[in-house]
A = this chain, B = another copy of it.
Amino acid sequence: MLNEAVNLESSPGAQAASDRRVRDRGATERAILAAAKGLLSEEGFQNFGINAVARRAGCDKQLIYRYYGGLDGLVEAIGADLGTWVRDRIPEDAGGMFLLTYGDLMERLALLLLDALKNDPLMRRILAWEVSENTEQVRRLSEARSKALALWLDRMRGSLAPPKGVDAAAVNAVVIAAIQHLVLAGAAGGQCAGLSLKTSKDWEKAALALKRLVRGVYG
């Protein structure tokens, strides 16, 4: 039914032969990792499983067990890959920014983070995963993500000291929480607490409100 006659293939039957995977473990490993990241980005963690990844990678799931030790190992590999996230979005002039006040800096960082997350489906999916499940799997991934975020913030901050009299760590955490939830809600439902988050005009309004909040505490 599937296979034509056993003939000397000249017809599309040859396709099966040409599709044949070259024996290259490294390439296969990379294909699996890419498939996993793509699948997580596009479909979310709901239907993220061995079978789905293998299907997308175009290989047998057995290879995932062999090369990554199962889904857990694969997820860990994704986490390790998140290290590139911070590298990829550190502008060269990070150290030479002409930011005068801590408020200037935090406003800038908030807007940068908002934009970065808005355009990074993988990070968004991981974030949603984090707040939805509490397995060891997602905990490891979460750790990698938050470490990357912390490193990014640290690099961007440089040596500027926060003002005294405010618990900057707590305030920043709340601001980041707001950013993350805005992005999640916007991507998922297109709105948050009655505020539409679809058009770029919508996002400008949200960004302005965010700026006001940050400026309100840090001046």
What's the nearest-Cβ distance from chain B to residue A218, in Å?
Answer: 8
Contact bitstring A163-179, B, C-beta under 8 A = 1, else 0: 00011011111111110
What's the nearest-Cβ distance from chain B to residue A183, in Å?
Answer: 9
CB within 8 Å of B: which A132-152 residues: 132-134, 139, 142, 146, 149-150
Q: In the complex, which residues of chain B have a beta carbon less than 8 angstroms from the beta carbon of A210? A: 174
Interface size on A, residues (CB 8 A): 50
* Bound CA–CA A57/B156 (angstroms): 53
* Bound CA–CA A44/B187 (angstroms): 21
Query: Among A130, A133, A149, A170, which residue has the most Cβ atoms of chain B within 10 A?
Result: A170
Closest B residue, CB atoms, query A150:
B194
Closest B residue, CB atoms, query A171:
B209
Closest B residue, CB atoms, query A134:
B188
CB within 8 Å of B: which A175-197 residues: 175-178, 180-182, 184-185, 187-189, 191-195
Contact A212 B208 (CB under 8 A): no
Contact A193 B171 (CB under 8 A): no
Given known contacts A139-B189, A169-B195, A181-B180, A44 and B146 CB-to-CB distance under 8 angstroms: no
* Bound CA–CA A133/B124 (angstroms): 12
Among B132, B167, B185, B191, which residue has its beta carbon within 8 angstroms of that of A46? B132
A206 contacts B by Cβ under 8 Å = yes
27 contacts between A and B (CB under 8 A): A44-B133, A130-B185, A130-B188, A130-B189, A131-B185, A131-B187, A150-B193, A167-B205, A167-B209, A169-B195, A170-B206, A170-B209, A171-B212, A172-B193, A173-B209, A174-B178, A174-B213, A175-B213, A176-B193, A177-B185, A180-B181, A181-B181, A181-B184, A212-B217, A213-B216, A215-B216, A216-B217
Interface residues of A (CB under 8 A from B): 44-46, 128-134, 139, 142, 146, 149-150, 166-167, 169-178, 180-182, 184-185, 187-189, 191-195, 205-206, 208-210, 212-213, 215-217
| Cβ-closest 9 pairs across A and B | A216-B216, A181-B181, A173-B195, A178-B178, A170-B209, A177-B181, A131-B184, A176-B193, A173-B193
